Amino acid sequence: MEERSISTPPLTTPPLIVTVRSTDAVGIVAAVTAAVARAGGNIVDLAQHSDEAQRAFGCRIEVTGLLERNVLDEALVELEATGLQCRTFDASARPKLALLCSRQLHCASDLLARIDLGELSCEVVAIVSDHLDAAVLARRYELPFHHLPVEADRSDQEQALGACLDGLGPDLVVPARYMRILPATLTERYEQAMINVHHSFLPAFIGANPYRRAHERGVKMVGATAHYVTAELDAGPIITQDVTPVTHAHDVADLVRLGADIERKVLARAVRLHLEHRIMVFGNKTCVFD
């Protein structure tokens, strides 16, 4: 029986992330991991999921080692000819992020602080707002600030926002409590590349004033939801959610304060998951490899 030599590969930076999507079938993981091995890669993390309802498969692989990228790229092209959708990402890359906000700045402030501390690996290209309140954040972090007020015709502002984003060229757009319904022309342009935080545990209390409506309903917990934005209000694929308990003794202001903490946390987590290519969308659901 022929013996095989297995050696510990030297680590290189940056590591590579490989994602694969396809119709579910036997042998997908074996084929992809064999391609990585032939290219000299060492798999340090692999997560996979099969969605039985849609017969869909997805996996995320982290690779280090002395990779021969041309060998890997050629092997992945061959696999794509069999129906697999393969993508590779440099794990050390810093995607461009555009931050949208209005007057409530707690989520935007939190994201900027986390990015500044190195908790989120991205480059903020600008803060865009329909009010001037966020200008102080732009000055604090030395970022470009684009003020796009809403005048009599809302569509003018929406067109200006689209033109602004076109000029910035972000990889990810984050409406951090932007508080405006975005037109389909924008949401479709940034499909699965625009993350919103909604201040309720969706699908409950969709739309405006969810904390007041939650208080009137007498809920025993409040929550927040981070989701990809679609043309349908607060109905995009949910990425992450969290809740905190409340009691009859809490008034609306208490619910708003408690909810704000949850909003910060779920939005930051969703952004991190997206930046690390840990999210796959199956229909209107997400698979999160975390």
Tens of pLDDT, residue by residue over 231-275, are 887 789 999 999 888 878 788 887 778 888 899 999 999 999 999
- Do both 283 and 157 map to the same domain? yes
Output the six-digit token pair for 168.
């910035």
Q: Do 276 and 193 fall into the same domain? A: yes
Total domain count, the chain: 2
- Same domain membership, residue 134 and residue 86: no
Whether residue 31 is found in the same domain as residue 148:
no
Residues 6-30 have pLDDT tens digits of 545 444 557 899 999 999 999 999 9
Domain that holds residue 119: 96-288
User: Same structural domain for residues 54 and 149?
Assistant: no
40 with 109, same domain: the answer is no
Select from 47, 71, 90 the last residue of a domain: 90
Among residues 90, 108, 135, the one where a domain terminates is: 90
Q: Is residue 251 part of a domain?
A: yes
Task: Please say which residue of 90, 109, 144 terminates a domain.
Answer: 90
In a domain, 8, yes or no: no
The verdict on 145 and 210 lying in the same domain is yes
Q: What is the DSSP letter of 181?
A: P
Q: How far is CA 101 from CA 66, 91, 166, 252, in A?
A: 43, 28, 17, 22
| Whether residues 103 and 136 fall in one domain | yes
Whether residues 256 and 204 fall in one domain: yes
Distance of CA 4 to the CA centre of its chain: 41
For position 201, which CATH number holds?
Answer: 3.40.50.170
Instruction: Give the span between the Cα atoms of 14 and 160, in whole angstroms.
Output: 38
DSSP state string for 19-74: EEEEE--TTHHHHHHHHHHHTT-EEEEEEEEEETTTTEEEEEEEEESS--HHHHHH
* Helix, strand, coil percent content, the chain, rounded in steps of 5: 30, 30, 40
* Active site members: 234
Question: What pLDDT digit, counting tens, does each position of 141-182 carry?
Answer: 999 999 999 887 888 999 999 999 999 999 999 999 887 889
